[in-house]
Amino acid sequence: MTLAFIGGTGLTRMDNLQVQDRLQISTQWGAPSAPVVQGELASRPVLFLARHGDPHVLLPHQVNYRANMAALKEAGASAVIAVNAVGGISAHARSGVIVSPDQLIDYSWGRDMTFFDDRSGPVTHVDFSWPFDAALRARLAAALDACGADWVNGGCYGVTQGPRLETAAEIQRMERDGCDIVGMTGMPEAVLARELGLPYAMLSLVVNPAAGKSDTEITMAEIEAVIAAGMGQVCAVLAALVASD
């Protein structure tokens, strides 16, 4: 199995990845956000793609998700782990905690959501009842435990459009809907992976309380501090995951 990692905010590059090549892949849906990096992690071959570009220049709604997923598939990925920086809604989703969600609700709009929009092809629908692969999540759970991570097993990821952060009223609505964390990149990434037959799971680092969940204003300085502290552990978990294969 060749694992592919998609790095989000705070993970444009993996310091523990031994880079061997950078693949410039062109797809029928355009160019991916960045070259697909071929390398070794824990002495095993892996792929890495910076979701927002390298350097980080693409806003969530500007990412060419179809090109990204198609490029990883073409490069030989057999499963995908996506890393996200998210806001915490539920009480257990505190800043610095890693969440491995098992559900999502999509509030985004206007994004290219499918590979099956060619009118000359068959009308295709994929089952998306459980958006994250159970076997891959089980492997992630073992790696998180092995690293002693502070993490939450399961939860609902709410996908918003961005690039602005949410209002307190929007977060209240999402909490009523059952969302535990909020981010901007989980869709259409997850469903595109499903259409390609790629097992897909997430490591979501909570970097701030969502709007209205604290008494202070959300600042980028606070978010960046949590990212700096947490992404090192995320990389360690990914290495442990690869080593267990």
Binding-site residue ranges for substrate: 184, 208-210
Q: Which two tokens mark 156? A: 């609902």
What's the start-to-end Cα distance of the chain, in Å? 8
Q: Is 21 helix (H, G, I), strand (E, B) or coil?
A: strand
H/E element, 6? strand 3-7
Backbone φ and ψ of 214, nearest 5°: -145, 170
Q: Which two tokens mark 59? A: 């806003």
- Identify any residues that bridge with 83 across adjacent strands, giving them in sequence order: 203
Please state whether the peptide bond connecting residue 199 to the residue before it is cis, i.e. omega within 30 degrees of 0: no
- DSSP state, 71? H
Tell me the C-alpha distance between 1 and 202, whole Å.
17
Binding residues: 9, 51-52, 184-185, 208-210
Residue 84 identity: N
Q: Which two tokens mark 166? A: 């949410």
Is the CB of residue 212 less than 8 Å from the CB of residue 166? Answer: no
Tell me the C-alpha distance between 190 and 9, whole Å.
17
Binding residues for phosphate: 9, 51-52, 185
Is the CB of residue 36 less than 8 Å from the CB of residue 23? Answer: yes
Count H helices and E strands in the chain, helices first: 5, 11
